[in-house]
Amino acid sequence: MSLPPLVEPAADLSVDEVRRYSRHLIIPDVGMAGQKRLKNARVLCVGAGGLGSPALMYLAAAGVGTLGIVEFDVVDESNLQRQIIHGTKDIGRPKAHSARDRVLDVNPHVNVIVHEERLDSTNVMGLFAQYDLIVDGTDNFATRYLVNDACVLLGKPYVWGSIYRFDGQASVFWAEYGPCYRCLYPEPPPPGMVPSCAEGGVLGVLCASIGSIQVTEAIKLLTGIGDPLVGRLMVYDALEMAYRQVRIRKDPNCAVCGPSPTVTELIDYEAFCGTISDAAVEAARDATISVLDLQRMLAARERGEDDFILIDVREPNEYEIVSIPGSVLIPKGQFLDGSALADLPTDRRIVLHCKVGGRSAEALAVVKGAGFSDAVHVGGGVLAWVSQVEPDKPTY
Angle 174-177-178 (CA atoms, 0-180°, nearest 5)?
70
All residues at 6 or more sequence positions from 276 whose CB lies less than 8 Å from its CB, including other chains? 191, 192, 284, 358, 361, 362
Do 62 and 24 touch, CB atoms closer than 8 A?
Answer: yes
Rounded Cα distance between 215 and 220, Å, is 9
- Residue 226 DSSP one-character state: S
Closest Cα partner for 170 from 214, 216, 230? 214
Number of H-type helices and E-type strands within the chain: 17, 13
- Residue 43 DSSP one-character state: E
Catalytic residues: 197, 354
Rounded Cα distance between 4 and 255, Å, is 27
- What would the 3-class secondary structure string for 181-193 be? HHHHCCCCCCCCC
Rounded Cα distance between 147 and 159, Å, is 10
Q: What is the dihedral of CA 54, 58, 61, 67, to 10 degrees?
A: -90
Rounded Cα distance between 374 and 378, Å, is 13
